Copies of this chain bind each other. A is one copy, B any other.
């Protein structure tokens, strides 16, 4: 039912073989991409229920609310799905740095002439 998934108004995520969709968080004001991670059905449900971005940690194999220890949660202002419903876009208000390195965004390096430069 690809057509219904693309044109319909039913939330019906297309999880991959591991039960995951890709989730992108951008700063609701600046539009900066803060982080990219994954959600399973439970993570998406928790995100929608709490309004705070929750992911599936593949390395730890458990639900992971962003900021659960640091307090740097991502408050979800808006959540969208893409055409084939295998990706989520959240516009968020971050309560602190989104990256575990302390950077505001995980995308703190740009590629120029094949090398990385800090932005």
Query: Taking beta carbons and an 8 Å cutoff, which residues of A are in contact with B?
Result: 6-11, 22, 24, 26, 30-33, 35-36, 48, 78-84, 87, 89, 99-101, 103, 106-111, 114-119
Are B106 and A83 within 8 A (Cβ)?
Answer: yes
A100 CB contacts on chain B under 8 angstroms: 83
Neighbour of A111 across the interface among B8, B80, B116, CB < 8 A:
B80
Report the separation of the CA atoms of residues A48 and B100 in the bound assembly, to the nearest whole angstrom: 27
A8 CB contacts on chain B under 8 angstroms: 116
Are B6 and A82 within 8 A (Cβ)?
Answer: no
Are B22 and A26 within 8 A (Cβ)?
Answer: no
A118 CB contacts on chain B under 8 angstroms: 9
Report the separation of the CA atoms of residues A16 and B48 in the bound assembly, to the nearest whole angstrom: 28
Q: Which 7 A-B pairs have the closest CB atoms?
A: A31-B31, A82-B106, A36-B87, A80-B107, A9-B116, A33-B89, A83-B106
